[in-house]
Amino acid sequence: MADSWVTVAQAADIAEGGVKAVRVGDHEIALYHLPGGEFRATDNICSHEYAQLSDGWLENGEIECPLHAARFDIRSGKALCAPAEKDLTVFEVKREGDALLVRVPG
């Protein structure tokens, strides 16, 4: 099936520098609002064990896991330090007016 774009939030729902957990079907997604109006999305579940990255700390384009402090680049999904070894899936995000849409596999 084709990928689909799904509206997951309004831009005003996420403060600049903030992150919001959203769910699309089976996908748990973290939606990030970077300074300057850039929006990004990754898996919300840490690739190490089970923690929601939306409970972590967003700084300089990196999210730090609240459980064991692994960090990930939210633009590439890359795991930047131990204990995480596996990268996160990233999702494309687009903005249409105030709506934020995420592209998810069909």
Q: Which residues in this chain contact ligand FES in the complex, by CB under 6 A?
A: 46, 48-49, 51, 65, 67-68, 70, 83-84
Closest distance of CB 36 from ligand FES, Å: 27
Closest distance of CB 62 from ligand FES, Å: 13
Closest distance of CB 85 from ligand FES, Å: 10
| Complete edge-to-edge strand list for the sheet that includes strand 4-10 | 4-10, 99-104, 93-96
Q: Cα(93)–Cα(100) distance, rounded to whole angstroms? A: 7
Evaluate whether 54 touches 44 at the Cβ level (below 8 Å). yes
Nearer to ligand FES, 38 or 64 (CB): 64
